[in-house]
Amino acid sequence: MPILLVTGSSGLIGSEVVGYFCNLGWQVHGVDNNMRADFFGPSGDTRWNQRRLVAAHESFTHHELDIRDRKAVLECVDSIRPQMLVHTAAQPSHDLAASRPFDDFDVNAVGTVNLLEAVRRHASEAVFAHMSTNKVYGDRPNTIALKEEETRWAYDDPAFAKGIPESFPIDQSKHSLFGASKVAGDIMVQEYGRYFDIKSCCLRGGCLTGPNHSGVELHGFLSYLIKCNVEGKQYKVFGYKGKQVRDNIHSLDVARFIHAFWENPRCGEVYNIGGGNRNSCSILEAFDRIAALTGKKMDYEYVDKNREGDHICYISDLSKMHMDYPGWDISKSLDDIFEEIYEASRDHTHT
């Protein structure tokens, strides 16, 4: 029975990966210290997800551990000796990084190096899958020619008809401190792959989402938007006329790709992982989609200032993923995603 170690195991992607591999018969260890509640307050608390995983899966073991604790990380990896490590733990917010830069960098950059070095020393044959972010490209995607349509911004350059490829430059742009700390971790994962032959990949996520997301205003766009509609709360739109676009990928499809990478790993690889064109939507379009499900018009306030480093339009080009892993594709449509998050938000509201 293979052994998997997941960091950030109570979060959206982490918990999905835990459940997915437990169901395949793996022995799964999760590392989480509910730092999301420290970052975002009670609404970001993920203990409910931790309890759900412990109750649902006998083959899952939770470890209360902070990835900034180098000694504890080294000891943890040494004792478990996983065949694969999936690193999803992160400080995920632009805005929070600016107010807590040391915490942001220590979690996103230093924590990643702690894990990489632990794997190199104690589990050098292990596969290392790292959840990076499309924010490593900074605000450079905003330099792509755009056209304004009725409900969204769209690329007006045929070179980006399929979205943004992995060859897109990451320098000479404004990243936010969060984006910069994630760049540091991303590059280190690549370097441990190339320099030490660690089987590793960086998954540069678009809008990662699903029903187990503890979405908050500063992070978790779709989950938080749907929660606001269900609970009758006002949603704030920051600039770009509400026409900014994201491509949305269900957490299950991320877990499925990690499984595909495990079966055919590479060293120091990079993939833009998102929903692609067919799972893309703007904020205005998201308002209409959730209103159609709930029967409630979205209550929102427009703030005529975009967030620093925010993307106007971001769609992942999935061509490289399909080329390297032809057995993988998106299995959850945008309709599926909205319906699942809506049902989960409704259930939480009623409990």
DSSP E strands, the chain: 3-7, 27-31, 60-63, 84-87, 127-133, 146-148, 153-155, 199-205, 207-209, 235-238, 245-250, 269-273, 280-282, 300-303, 313-314
The whole-angstrom separation of Cα 103 and Cα 255 is: 27
Handedness of CA 297, 36, 81, 19 (dihedral sign): negative
Burial zone of 102 (CB within 10 Å; 0-12 exposed, 13-18 middle, 19+ buried): exposed
What burial letters (b/e) apply to 38-69, b meaning 16+ CB within 10 Å?
ebbeeebbbeebbebbeeebebbbbbebbbbe
Residues 243, 314 contacting (CB under 8 angstroms) = no
Q: How much is the pLDDT for 214?
A: 66
Q: How much is the pLDDT for 218?
A: 58
Q: How much is the pLDDT for 6?
A: 98
Q: What is the token pair recorded at 144?
A: 């792509």
Q: What is the token pair recorded at 88?
A: 């999803």
Q: How much is the pLDDT for 219?
A: 63
Domains and CATH numbers, the chain: 3-350 (3.40.50.720)
Per-residue pLDDT of the chain (351 residues; tens, 9 = 90+): 999 999 999 999 999 999 999 999 999 999 999 888 888 888 788 899 999 999 999 999 999 999 999 999 999 999 999 999 999 999 988 788 999 999 999 999 999 999 999 999 999 999 999 999 999 999 999 999 999 999 999 999 999 999 999 999 999 999 999 999 999 999 999 999 999 999 999 999 989 999 877 666 756 678 889 999 999 999 999 999 999 999 999 999 999 999 999 999 999 999 999 999 999 999 999 999 999 999 999 999 999 998 877 899 999 999 999 999 999 999 999 999 999 999 998 876 554
Q: Which of 215, 248, 220, 238 is nearest to 300 (CA)?
A: 238
C-alpha distances (whole Å) from 342 to each of 46, 161, 229, 246, 251 are 18, 30, 9, 18, 15
